[in-house]
Amino acid sequence: MLMFNLFIRIILLLLPMTLLLPLMASAGIYRYVDQQGRIHFTNVPTTNKFLLYRNEGEPQQLETLITHFAQKFRLDRSLVKAVIKAESDFDPRVVSSRGAQGLMQLMPETAREVGVTNPFDPSESIYGGSLYLRKMLDSFDQNLDYALAAYNAGPGAVRKYGGIPPYEETQNYVRKVKQYYDFYSQSKDVF
């Protein structure tokens, strides 16, 4: 009888956990639109303002966010992917030696400039990085090389040198992003 009671207690303790397993196993993207019309995405909703947007795994979540913000800021999604690949290799937790953070490696000043409060949140990082990339393209008359150089070294350096600065890192960065851009343009569903 003692063994039976112990068995029942174990079952009663484990039952709630087994009911939660399907919920824990399914990944989801949640979103809400704030009063300014800005869309917020998260995989961990913190308030009831967030509604389920899409269930899926991490690559599909990133694909959805990239597509959304690329469209919002009139960018080719392959270009956004290429910048993410060059900046962070799709690791949302990475911090550079100079302090750039998240998927799109936003410096704290740049993050503030584009309204990003958590650069480690993929949604905020892709939003901020895409907005900043659009600003750089607009600042340099849609010249992709100059915009990428400005994304890497800052728009002041591009203006100072009248083009891509003579920094090896920046020159390599522009070359690398363009190679990734070509690759993603040919194989759109790959990370």
Taking residue 191's Cβ as centre, other Cβ atoms within 10 Å add up to: 14
Residue 184 and residue 78: Cα distance in Å, rounded? 5
Residue 69 and residue 73: Cα distance in Å, rounded? 6
Q: Of residues 56, 58, 63, 87, which has the active-site annotation?
A: 87
159-165 long-range Cβ contacts below 8 angstroms, 24+ apart: none
Is 87 an active-site residue? Answer: yes
State which H helix or E strand residue 39 sits in. strand 39-42
Q: Are 92 and 58 in contact (CB under 8 A)?
A: no
Of the candidates 175, 127, 124, 181, the one whose C-alpha atom is nearest the C-alpha of residue 152 is: 175
Q: Are 75 and 133 in contact (CB under 8 A)?
A: yes
Q: Are 93 and 109 in contact (CB under 8 A)?
A: no
Residues marked as catalytic: 87
